[in-house]
Amino acid sequence: IYLGRLSREEGDLARARRLLTTAVRLAPGSSLAARELAALMLADGQPDIARRFYVRALEIDPADRTAQGFLGCALYRLQRYDEARRWVERAGPGEWQQCAPPLPPPAPVPYGAPGYPSPPPT
């Protein structure tokens, strides 16, 4: 896992893929292996595959803030902004905030929608 991370950080994505794929295959219950393979996929421009491995890491360890935050980044790149916002906020502050620019604000609720007051009388 750590050799895979180092390879990714050094830009050797092919070697990182071999190492991390092997790590996930040998340790399918390792949230760290799943998270590192997700990080590789995100770095390689494959946010949907990254999303799947971040979800897998969180199924193993739901408290993994790093996986939560970077899941938000993957979702942002997939233009799933509301979900991305929730995951980034859930993770709290961390380095994942650098990978996703500030998310657009949520859509305004129109007057008269459930839970929103009616417009003022004229």
The verdict on residue 67 lying in a domain is yes
Ordered per-residue pLDDT tens for the chain, 122 residues:
999 999 999 999 999 999 999 999 999 999 999 999 999 999 999 999 999 999 999 999 999 999 999 999 999 999 998 899 899 999 999 998 887 666 556 666 666 666 665 555 66
pTM to 2 decimals?
0.80
DSSP string, the chain: -HHHHHHHHTT-HHHHHHHHHHHHHH-TT-HHHHHHHHHHHHHTT-HHHHHHHHHHHHHH-TT-HHHHHHHHHHHHHTT-HHHHHHHHHHH-SSGGGGTSPPPPPPPPPPTTSTTSPPPPP-
Predicted confidence at residue 98, as pLDDT, reads 83
The verdict on residue 118 lying in a domain is no
The verdict on residue 22 lying in a domain is yes
The verdict on residue 80 lying in a domain is yes
Domain total in the chain: 1
- CATH no. for residue 57? 1.25.40.10
Structure tokens of 43? 């770095």
Q: Which domain holds residue 41?
A: 2-98
The verdict on residue 59 lying in a domain is yes
